Chains A and B, each alone.
Chain A
Amino acid sequence: MQIKELTEVYDVIIVGSGAGGGMATKQLADAGLNVAVVEAGPFFDPKNPEQMTQFKWPYESPRRGAPKTRDFGEWDMAYGGWEIEGEPYTHTEGTKFDWFRSHMLGGRTNHWGRISLRFGPKDFKHKDVDGFGDNWPISYEDVKPYYDKVDKLIGVFGSKEGRPNDPDGFFLPPPKPRLHELFYINGAKKSGIPVIPGRLSMLTKKINNDRGVCFYCGQCSRSCSVYADFSSGSCLIFPAQKNGGRVKIFVNSVVREVTTNEEGKATGVSYISKDDRKEYKLKAKVVVLAASACSSARILLNSKSKQHPNGLGNSSNHVGKYLHDSTGSSRTGFIPGLMNRKTSYNEDGVGGMHVYSPWWGDNSKLDFPRGYHIEVWGGMGMPNYGFGYDPNEFNKFFGLKVGGYGDSLRNDVKKYYGSVVGFGGRGEAIARKENYCEIDPTTVDKFGIPVLKFNYKWSDFEIKQAKHMQDTFEELIHNMGGEPIGKKPGAEKNYGLLNPGEVIHEVGTTRMGNDPKTSVTNKYQQLHDVDNVFIVDAGPFVSQADKNCTWTILALSWRASDYIIEQLKQHNI
């Protein structure tokens, strides 16, 4: 069978439609370029009633929200998950990596936590501070103008705090704390841990005439039907189209490789259509990869040719290396002071934390080099599958019998409703060359494309950091007058440290740098080896910081897009 070549030559092909791909689409289409977006999953619009889960009640489904088909519960708006049928990945024995993929227009931006933190000046040059990892070839000052523009285009609430490594931005005003968050603020104060308003990309105030304002249903993970939270489709790709941009979206199209010509320059991509399982070729002057750090690395490694025998952009042998995810460890606590709550009001709030703690520690006095921030959850949320499963387990804290049956269970459920708080530490791991993904030549997915094999191990630094998290959480729970729930995870469980990948902040696989021997892209996210291929997902990150990666993906994708526009104008590519 001959591969079907589509005749139109686009200015740019963008592979993937999440944060990085969406931003590139918006900037490049706004600049008048003819753009093709190639997305592996189906079309998705948060306001499409057929796809929408916002405002669904648990009883609208026979499984009441259970996570059978979606890992974060039935209403979560990510098609895909940790395992996707027919699309496996493998591991080097004795190593772990969990890979969350979401194949749909907008990708994982449809369900993410919207925690939108800028990296700080120290985060770009952390090697200068502690000698670990590498510095970025760019500094905060290079990215700041783009963070500013992202804030204004997309919207993020927060407050000006003047903290040196948690830069302020152009914030919308934050929502007032909920009850459990007031308890947290008081508890943290006792330990000298700072608490500031959350920084999340939800519109607490109008930002333009195309997007709605948050109506506080707490369901951002379901993707907002009035576009009051940031999702790539609703906030970048649709506006680019509405703006008159030439944006052609190819959905259900799984990119196999970047195609190249005799000179080794990219000519476009080949993809498999999920609809007929046939291979197609699309042509463009420039290829922008935004398929997610690991997927883009996979495409590059699978793009072997006479000119690029080691895979595209891989003359340095660095594609796939330096893979790193945020660290994560969690604990929940029962807070008697939050018992017997009045249910007289709606406290759904925004779909995430109204307050959080940025990293406060001094690593020079600790046994691990990098920090973490604390995310807080709790409150009187909507019941879903699992609610009240152990209706009176906290009786044990009062020396009362656990279990039983009868009318008393109703009272138990109400007595304890809203009395649990949870903490998640999200921290920085050191990027290491020894942690990587590569092609597993023995295994293909159902489209015949060789899959990724992961090789990732935590070091003592991350484990010690997780221990610090657990000690801190226990202290915070006690400060709040509470009791930690369950056994404290100890050394045998790496202090609850999640598997690599589980925090879904994987970055670093195509890191940027000035030296083509030790990096994959230059500081404009252009492959050292091929000047018309760019990467705008989190692959080019040199390090992850104790922040979340999305706001930096957006800022850097915008910056790279400006560079692409400039280079095209000057006929350099």
Chain B
Amino acid sequence: MDRRKSLKAIILGAGAASTGLVFNGCNTEGEPTVETNISEGAEKFFGRTPEELALIEKLNAEKLFNAHEMETITILSTIILPPKEPHGGPVEAEVPEFIEFIAKDYPEMQDTLIGGLMWLDHKCNTMFQVEFKTATLEQQKQILDTIAFHDPEIPLNEQPLEIQFFHMMRGLTVTGYYTSKVGIADLGYKGNMPNVWDGVPEDVLEQHGVAYDPEWIAKCVDQSKRGIIAEWDDEGNLLT
């Protein structure tokens, strides 16, 4: 289902049916509907100004990591967050590409990342006479175990480079994965689409041991009347 159709379905389909409401956007006559604007906007642009687009194009044209480094990043990221059905892993989430872009965008990260990759190879060569990317998983883990658990009480910038490096790689891998389409599906986040908020579901309230105060709820919006134009009496009491 394409985005436009899926939005339509959400707006007019299941969600509306279950609450008995129909979503109404800003359908001024003759103008494209909100749904059309939203879907077409999403397909063509992502809200960048011309200057911002130019910066992205410039960064995309640059190369920061060589092929070996990109391969090492790919291997390392999948050890950090192994792929899992059905939502894949860092490769499906384009984590290596994301890391390269971010390191170009924030040059202050570059030395830590490149230096850390070189540390990995140096360490692996010293211990096992192979580069990190071709070592066995067992060997790779043996090295990572020495840098993957930092002391949270000591500020990171006071810890050795290889620890800073791993912290950065893990951070970028996890953030890259969970900001991807597959990662968001894995997380289960349900928002970023039109809906009608009508409170926390009963089973969730129960799970967390809280309840709505009826007096409070009495002040809140009656979603069945959201489409009726507001009118008040002179005292500010809502009549509609």
Contact = CB atoms under 8 A, between A and B. Distances in A.
Interface of A: 42, 47, 49-66, 68-69, 75, 77, 79, 148, 151-152, 155, 157, 159-160, 168-179, 182-183, 185-186, 197, 204-213, 215-219, 222, 225-227, 337-338, 341-350, 380-391, 393, 396, 401-407, 409-410, 413-414, 417
Given A54-B38, A58-B179, A206 B204 contact: no
Given A405-B81, A407-B84, A56 B42 contact: yes
B86 to A, nearest CB: 13
B226 A213 contact: yes
Interface stretch (B62-70, B125-133, B213-221): B213-221
A382 B191 contact: yes
Given A337-B208, A409-B80, A383 B189 contact: yes
Given A213-B226, A386-B175, A402-B149, A55 B193 contact: yes
Contact of A68 (B37, B105, B174, B208): B105
Given A61-B46, A183-B210, A225-B37, A174 B221 contact: yes
B46 A53 contact: yes
A52 B174 contact: no
B199 to A, nearest CB: 4
B26 A173 contact: no
B41 interface: yes
A56 B28 CA distance: 24
A269 B18 CA distance: 57
A211 B190 contact: no
Given A47-B26, A215-B196, A347-B191, A385 B42 contact: no
B136 interface: no
B41 A176 contact: no
B208 A63 contact: no
A42 to B, nearest CB: 8
Interface string B189-228: 1111111111111011101111111001101111001111
26 contacts: A52-B47, A53-B46, A56-B42, A62-B59, A62-B97, A63-B56, A64-B176, A64-B179, A66-B105, A176-B217, A182-B212, A206-B229, A212-B24, A216-B197, A217-B192, A227-B26, A337-B208, A338-B208, A342-B203, A345-B201, A346-B191, A346-B193, A347-B190, A402-B150, A405-B144, A407-B84
Nearest to B31: A47
Nearest to B221: A173
A29 to B, nearest CB: 20
Contacts of B189: 343, 380, 382-383
B45 to A, nearest CB: 5
A212 B44 CA distance: 24
B52 to A, nearest CB: 5
Contacts of B59: 62
Instruction: Determine chain A's interface SS by DSSP, over half rule.
Output: loop
Contacts of A178: 200
Interface in B20-76: 23-26, 28, 34, 37-38, 40-42, 44-49, 51-52, 55-56, 59-60
A347 B144 CA distance: 38
B149 A157 contact: no
Given A55-B42, A405-B80, A215 B232 contact: no
Interface string B142-165: 001000111010000000000000
Shortest beta-carbon contacts, A-B, top 7: A49-B41, A343-B188, A53-B47, A215-B194, A58-B179, A173-B221, A348-B191
A350 B200 CA distance: 14
Contacts of A68: 105-106
Contacts of B135: none
A173 B222 contact: yes
A52 B227 CA distance: 25
B184 interface: yes
Given A62-B98, A226-B26, A405 B79 contact: yes
Given A52-B41, A56-B47, A205-B229, 12 more contacts: A49-B45, A50-B44, A50-B45, A58-B180, A61-B46, A61-B48, A178-B200, A206-B230, A222-B47, A347-B190, A383-B175, A383-B184
Nearest to B150: A403
Given A173-B221, A176-B212, A342 B179 contact: no
Given A175-B220, A227-B26, A401-B149, A348 B210 contact: no
B12 interface: no
Contact of A179 (B38, B48, B204): B204
A214 to B, nearest CB: 8
Nearest to A345: B201
B56 to A, nearest CB: 6
Contacts of A382: 184, 189, 191-192
Contacts of B225: 205
B130 to A, nearest CB: 20
B132 to A, nearest CB: 14
B96 interface: no
A79 B38 contact: no
Nearest to B93: A59
A407 B131 CA distance: 24
B82 interface: yes
A301 B94 CA distance: 53
B191 A388 contact: no
Contacts of B213: 185
Contacts of B60: 62
